[in-house]
Amino acid sequence: MKRTIIHVDMDAFFAAVEVRDNPELRGKPLIIGALPHERGVVSTCSYEARKFGVRSAMSIKEAYRRCPHGIFMHGDMSKYAKASDEIHKVMLKFTDAIEFVALDEGYMDVTGSLRIFGSAEAIGRQLKKEIFDAVGVTCSVGISYSMMGAKLASEEKKPDGFFVIPDKESLVELIKDRPVGVISGIGEKTAEKLKAMGIVTVQNLLDTPEGNLKVLGANGAAIKRLAEGNDTRQVVAEAPAKSIGREHTFQNNITDAKVLKDALLLLSRDVSLRAKRNEMWGRTVTLKLKFSDMHGITRAHSSDATNSSREIYDQACKLLDGLRLIQPVRLVGVALSNLQDFKDEPEMQLSLFDELEPEKERSKQKAEALENTIFDLHNKYGRGILKTAKELEVWNKINDKENE
């Protein structure tokens, strides 16, 4: 049975959301990731920045060398996740056969939806309109008979593009003179091996007997089939998340446990916000550390289900206190796992100390009420709308320590 696949790819998503919220950034080279003096990589950048050779995953240092007049800024993952949630809701109106591969990208198998919504082209154009109406940013939509074809189609007319590759003959005709890297599964190393064999374009690959590709191992035959337009991969609906986590890489390695705990406070807040947004609770808190020699360790503790930032933070700090820090720390992270989906808060076991210390329990309830209020504001207006005095103090302390 012929499938109909749609690939939705947001256009410079993080940068587009920032421009939406700050119109004065429109038309300027915007680079999301870190500031020029910080250690980090480019998460995404505007099309204006791409004209200067800036690309995702490039080091911030290299991005600054290529585009010193660019506007560099930190990303707001909570804000992008909220926009992504709205995009996913629109996509789910048309089918539940969706494979989300990133916050800004997903495949849809609309084969069974055609009889309801009409042609694939009608679905694609309605998708573009509803996503823009819901989120205020553009996307590119590709339609084809396969996943590779749909992705290639979405890239064909970016940004704000719409393109259809109806069959494998059309796909081969489109890409035959392009570099082999356009084929799914061919990365830089494989492209170098093919180049050494004189295979530079897709047509070169098509002209090469399959037996000559054994140097690539089992991938040789698969790559040959893809070059011929034969892609049998199926859209796999997203599996439930196994954990919710956040990490922070320090600009300079850290030896002060107090600074690590300050970072854990902020990371625990973000993990809590994400868990609450997804109506999830978790029973296991995991602490992750990566040291200056790139060696990493994790420690975990399980107890009652929670999504409280205070409880996540307390558990992470206890795990940290149980370690001897003999090397400087490069990265710290915290995660919540053994997740459970509750529409209402799960029942918790009452501690004897809660009954004996009502004042302590009231203080805890007030803190949780404040946390829930902050969550409601973040959920409605975005992560940057409100920071507590403690958060601002902590960020300043971390920045001061990192810049020493």
- Domain assignment of residue 10, yes or no: yes
- Domain assignment of residue 232, yes or no: no
Per the structure, the count of domains in the chain is 3
What is the pLDDT at residue 381? Answer: 45
Residue 108 sits in a domain whose CATH number is 3.30.70.270
154, 145 contact by CB (below 8 A): no
Residue 331 sits in a domain whose CATH number is 3.30.1490.100
Active-site residue 105, yes or no?
yes
Residues 136 and 36 in one domain: yes
Q: Which domain holds residue 253?
A: 243-402
- Domain assignment of residue 237, yes or no: no
Residues 277 and 397 in one domain: yes
87, 10 contact by CB (below 8 A): yes
Residues 287 and 358 in one domain: yes
What is the pLDDT at residue 35? Answer: 93
Residues 144 and 118 in one domain: yes
Biggest CA–CA distance in the chain, Å, is 80
Strand pairing partners for 31? 45, 72
- Domain assignment of residue 285, yes or no: yes
What is the pLDDT at residue 216? Answer: 82
Residues 141 and 180 in one domain: no
pTM above 0.85, yes or no: no
- Domain assignment of residue 212, yes or no: yes
Residues 25 and 154 in one domain: yes
Residues 210 and 139 in one domain: no
DSSP code for 59: B
Residues 289 and 382 in one domain: yes
What is the pLDDT at residue 344? Answer: 46
- Domain assignment of residue 323, yes or no: yes
183 φ, ψ to 5°?
Answer: -85, 135
Cβ neighbours around 122 below 10 Å, total: 11
Pairing of strands 30-32, 44-45: antiparallel
Q: Provide the token pair at 78.
A: 């909570």
Residue 176 sits in a domain whose CATH number is 1.10.150.20
- Output the tens digit of pLDDT for each of the chain's 404 residues: 789 999 999 999 999 999 999 999 999 999 999 899 888 889 899 999 999 999 988 999 999 999 999 999 998 888 898 899 999 999 999 999 999 888 899 999 999 999 999 899 999 999 999 999 999 999 999 999 999 999 999 999 999 999 999 999 999 999 999 999 999 888 888 899 999 999 999 999 999 998 898 888 878 888 999 999 999 999 988 666 688 999 988 878 888 999 999 999 989 988 998 888 888 899 999 999 998 888 889 999 988 899 999 999 999 999 999 998 888 999 999 999 988 876 545 544 444 444 445 554 455 555 555 555 555 554 544 444 444 555 555 555 555 554 45
CA distance 7 to 111: 13
Choice among 18, 105, 311, 371 that is catalytic:
105
The residue among 109, 135, 164 that closes a domain is 164
CA distance 254 to 259: 7
Residues 195 and 148 in one domain: no
* Secondary structure of 332-394 as H, E, C letters: EEEEEEEEEECCCCCCCCCCHHHHHCHHHHHHHHHHHHHHHHHHHHHHHHCHHHCCCHHHHHH
Residues 178 and 305 in one domain: no
Pairing of strands 139-144, 162-165: parallel
Residues 20 and 160 in one domain: yes
